[in-house]
Amino acid sequence: MRMPPIEKEEDRLREVVRGRIQHLPKDLYSMSNLGQLFMLQERERRVLNLLRKNNSEVISAGRILEVGCGTGLWIRDLIRWGADPGHITGIELLQERALEAQRLSPAGVSVHCGNAATLVFPDHAFDLVIQSTVFTSILNREVRQELAREMLRVLKPEGFILWYDFHMNNPWNADVRGVTSHEIRTLFPRCQVQLSRITLAPPLVRILAPVSWMACHLLSLVPFLCTHYLGIIRKL
């Protein structure tokens, strides 16, 4: 019997993510890695500026969902930025990562283990939905479309999606497929989409950051050297 696309992609993702975690250098995503620190600080500054321009109260007063929350890094950032833990929900495909996110989060945060392409939440439940490098991990276009539909379904009218993801393929990792501006607009029809390029190519940052923070900053201003889109997708 042929396995449905969502289940097939779900199994593939579990295998890929678990394999990647096992083989990652221990300090690759550590704050002691100056390249990682630069990328995180740049992203935080740009995200907060973007949120302030679009809805300064969504963090402090809105209900927030993160799809593919991993071990909860964004969740902890949201709380540091002023979000009410009781208004934050995360969903993560891997049970061990969902449990770790729940363990590391303060009381009130709700973390679910499940597939974000089949969300259990009611329509119009959230003011803000966050996705960070989830879509590029999904290689099946049908599953990408279903995830986008689910994100829009649970989003309130005039609510918005905070998008952070690769716009280009990773030449060193066949399990990462970039999402172009055109595809984003196709995935989220009848939405207002604002996108800007961000994040200097990570291999370059990891080389330059220990030598010159200023060089990283200046090069990150050159759009074609940046590998990700950061943006707002507003539901109309």
Supply the pLDDT for residue 21.
Answer: 81
Q: Is 234 helix (H, G, I), strand (E, B) or coil?
A: strand
H helices of the chain, where?
5-23, 34-54, 58-61, 73-80, 95-104, 141-154, 181-187, 202-208, 213-219
Supply the pLDDT for residue 218.
Answer: 97
**Distance separating alpha carbons of residues 51 and 130, to the nearest angstrom:** 12
Measured in whole angstroms, the distance separating CA 145 from the mean position of its chain's CA atoms is 16
Supply the pLDDT for residue 203.
Answer: 92
Given a cut of 80, whether residue 4 has pLDDT beyond it is no
pTM: 0.95
**Distance separating alpha carbons of residues 39 and 225, to the nearest angstrom:** 13
Residue 177 in contact with residue 139, Cβ under 8 Å?
A: yes
**The Cα angle at residue 177 between residues 176 and 181, in degrees rounded to 5:** 135
Q: Cα separations (Å) of 188 from 72, 132, 152, 184?
A: 25, 16, 8, 6
pLDDT band (50, 70, 90) for residue 149: very high
Residue 91 in contact with residue 67, Cβ under 8 Å?
A: yes
Q: What is the mean pLDDT of residues 32-40?
A: 91
Share of the chain above pLDDT 70, in %: 98
| Domain 5-235 falls under CATH 3.40.50.150 | yes
Q: Cα separations (Å) of 201 from 43, 123, 223?
A: 13, 37, 10
Share of the chain above pLDDT 90, in %: 86
Q: What is the mean pLDDT of residues 14-36?
A: 81
Least confident piece of the model among 6-15, 70-79, 104-113: 6-15
Given a cut of 70, whether residue 36 has pLDDT beyond it is yes
Both structure tokens of 94? 């891997």
Give buried/exposed letters for 160-197 (b at 16+ CB in 10 A, else e): bbbbbbbbbeeeeeebbbbbeeebbeebbeebebebeb
**The Cα angle at residue 43 between residues 37 and 45, in degrees rounded to 5:** 100
Given a cut of 90, whether residue 93 has pLDDT beyond it is yes
Given a cut of 70, whether residue 1 has pLDDT beyond it is no
Per-domain residue ranges of the chain: 5-235
Given a cut of 70, whether residue 200 has pLDDT beyond it is yes
Number of separate helices (H) and strands (E) present in the chain? 9, 7
Supply the pLDDT for residue 3.
Answer: 64
Supply the pLDDT for residue 24.
Answer: 75
Q: What is the mean pLDDT of residues 163-170?
A: 96
Given a cut of 80, whether residue 28 has pLDDT beyond it is no
What average pLDDT does the structure give for the chain?
94
Measured in whole angstroms, the distance separating CA 91 from the mean position of its chain's CA atoms is 12
Least confident piece of the model among 23-27, 38-42, 116-120, 123-127: 23-27
Q: What is the mean pLDDT of residues 43-54?
A: 95
